[in-house]
Amino acid sequence: MEPPPQIVVDGVRKVYETPSGPVEAVARASFTIRRREFVSILGPSGCGKSTLLMMIAGLDPASEGSITVDGAPVTGPRPEFGLVFQDATLLPWKSALENVLFPIRMMRREVAPARERAMRLLDFVGLGGFEGKKPHQLSGGMRQRVAICRALVHDPELLLMDEPFSALDAITRDEMNVALMDIWDAYHKTGVFITHSIREAVFLSDRVLVMAKRPSTVVADVTIPFPRPRDMSIQEDPEFNRICGELRARIEEGYARAGEARGPRRSLKAFA
Amino acid sequence: MTADAARLPAPAAAPAAPGALRMLARRSGTVLMPLGFAVSVLLLWEFLVRFYAVPTVILPAPSVVWARILSAWPFLLTHLVPTTVETVVGFLLSMILGTTLATFLVYGRRFREAVYPTVVFFQLIPKIALAPLFIVWLGIGSESRLAFSVFISFFPVVIATMAGLRAVPPDMLRLCRSLTATEAQVFAAVRFPYALPYIFSGMKIAVTFAMIGVIVGEFITAQAGLGYLILFASSQAETPLILASIATLCVIGLVLYGAVALAEKAMLRWYGSA
Ligand SMILES: Nc1ncnc2c1ncn2[C@@H]1O[C@H](COP(=O)(O)OP(=O)(O)O)[C@@H](O)[C@H]1O
Ligand SMILES: [Mg+2]
């Protein structure tokens, strides 16, 4: 028997009131995410992905509809969520270890017991020996690894990631995908991952939600059948490429529906 | 001939020479050139004054000023002390007042809406014109000079601190909110440290303004201090002493600014450049 889903997003709409009139950031979103499932949200920029993630995190209230996590409606921020952003947003004056421990301090928990976990996390992502380094002494990929450790240090139920690898170069990005995959297999969290890379979404996820712009809705929900643990080699699998092609087609449909005067080649490029 | 020289075996001391030369060359842009220019200006000044036999009361030669500094040294020293102390105290007060006010302005929306326009208004008027009022209100003691010094120097601190407290990346604040951190925690652990580089750039302006405030105060009313000495010397038509006092002021100004700049350097090393 299926356990009940952990996250239920039901008819959520978000309208921002701006000086130049209301902006509909999310028109209507409904989906569920099971415990320990890794779900990517794929869509063009400005389609409301970040807004949706912030609403799930309880950092921004929905205008309509409801979001529940573990059966309880999300009404405000909850520390049992781990957040990772596009920029590592580390404190520049703190060492890698101190940055990882930051949530523990902010949650006013005892630091000493968490230190060991923080060191283990840093070790796990290949940053053993770098715990004393400050962010400016680390590469972009290393900084983002620290940010991922920071998101996991307080053992959250849920990891919410908003384009965490978008600012990295392609090679580092591949490395980070593998690192995240390893973390996933080791730590078993529920994950919501925002990206506009189709291959990244397919490689990492159990399911991919495709969002369209104007109106901003979820237009497709595609299950990725590859078993775990996965490695880079699945990217050569014909099935992998078939799924990528299907997702690309769904995104194109989204554009077509929005009636955007946009050639398929340009939008394809945006999702290379 | 050059070709021959190139083929000659290098003398024993040679390895050090290119290094030293390269350093000189590297330094020439930052140290040698400005120094050379300043010395040239002084030499030209000396030459022109002698050549045209300019009366000392109009413009003394640099050598005359230097001689006056040496002869008036004990005298300059006693007047230098109150000016320096008042500048430092005025600067420290304006740091405390400026950062505190900026914090309230950033955190209190109502307070900001009510107070900020007035703060800006006082910056737009010629502040020096208000100096006599401070004497009227606070008397001729150091209080009025300190108050005026703070009045003149705290605004750059307010502006810099406000900018710094608002420079925290929005995602960092989202993270703090998500972790249910209190506003006091966020201030101490995130906002204030983020603001430090900004605050220091405000400090560098404030320290020079603080000195201007003290000097203006001394011009109006004082029984001691370098501003007073300048005024006294000018009443005696003692131009070399005026310039000797000004030179002393410049040195104090440089030392105070240098101290802040050094502290800034240490802070930035701790902060870690992004
Ligand atoms: N705080 C806000 N105020 C007004 N409009 C906003 C705000 N945040 C986002 N928007 C608008 O909502 C839309 C969706 O934004 P966002 O969720 O950031 O998209 P994405 O993450 O998919 O790029 C955009 O048109 C954006 O301009
Ligand atoms: Mg976004």
Is B180 within 8 Å of chain A by CB?
yes
A6 lines ligand 1 (CB under 6 A): no
Q: What is the pLDDT of residue B53?
A: 93
Contact between A111 and A98 under an 8 Å Cβ cutoff? The reply is: no
Of B176, B179, B272, the CB nearest to A93: B272
Mean of per-residue pLDDT scores for chain A:
90
Cα B109 from chain centroid (whole Å): 32
pLDDT on residue A262? 46
| Ligand nearest to the Cα of A46, by number | 1
Find out whether B59 and B42 touch, Cβ atoms under 8 Å. no
Amino acid at B188: A
What pLDDT sits at residue A118? 96
8-state DSSP, B52 = T
CB proximity list for A180: less than 8 A, separation 6 or greater: A148, A204
Is B129 within 8 Å of chain A by CB? no
Atom 25 of ligand 1: nearest residue by CA position = A46
pLDDT value, residue B272: 86
Residues of A in contact with B181 (CB under 8 A): 106-107
The separation between the first and the last C-alpha atoms of chain A, rounded to the nearest angstrom, is: 39
Domain B60-273 in CATH 1.10.3720.10? The answer is yes
Residue A102: how many CB atoms within 10 A of its CB?
23
Q: From residue A213, how far is each of A48, A202, A210, A245, B145 by CA, in Å? A: 8, 21, 10, 19, 63
Note the pLDDT of residue B18: 61
pTM of the model: 0.86
Profile chain A (272 residues) by mean pLDDT over runs of 10 residues: 86 95 93 95 92 95 95 91 95 97 96 95 94 96 96 94 94 91 89 94 95 89 91 91 94 71 44 46
The residues of chain B scoring below 50 in pLDDT are 1-15, 274
For residue B185, which residues of chain A lie inside 8 Å, CB to CB? 105-106, 108
Compute the distance from residue B173 Cα to the ligand 1 centre, in Å: 17
Ordered alpha helix ranges (H), chain B = 2-7, 16-27, 33-51, 62-71, 73-107, 109-124, 131-138, 142-165, 170-178, 183-186, 192-220, 226-235, 239-271
Q: What is the pLDDT of residue A264?
A: 44
Token pair in block for residue A238 = 């014909």
Residues B75-85 as b/e (b if ≥16 CB within 10 A, e otherwise) read: ebeebbebbbe
Contact B171 A136 (CB under 8 A): no
| Predicted pLDDT of residue B17 | 54
Q: Do A92 and B272 touch (CB under 8 A)?
A: yes
Phi then psi dihedrals of residue A23, to 5 deg? -115, 125
- Of ligand 1's listed atoms, the one at least distance from the Cα of A23 is 5
Cβ neighbors of B8 (< 8 A, separation 6 or more) are: none
Q: Can you give the residue ranges of every domain in chain B?
A: 17-53, 60-273
Measured between its terminal Cα atoms, the distance across chain B in Å is 52
How does DSSP classify residue B11?
Answer: P
What's residue B273's pLDDT?
67
Contacts of B58 (CB under 8 A, 6+ apart): B239
Contacts (Cβ under 8 Å, ≥6 apart) of B253: B208, B211
Is the previous residue joined to A215 through a cis bond, with omega within 30 degrees of 0?
Answer: yes
Centre a 10 Å sphere on the Cβ of residue B12 and count the other Cβ atoms it contains. 7
Q: Is the CB of A18 inside a 6 Å radius of any atom of ligand 1?
A: yes
Helix, strand or coil, per DSSP, at residue B187:
helix
Residue B261 main-chain phi, psi, to 5 deg: -65, -35
pLDDT digits (tens, 9 = 90+) for B147-165: 999 999 999 999 999 999 9
CB contact under 8 A, A136 and B273: yes
pLDDT at B246: 96
How high is the pLDDT of residue A267? 43
Is B197 an 8 Å CB contact of chain A?
Answer: no
Residue of A nearest to B189 (CA): A106
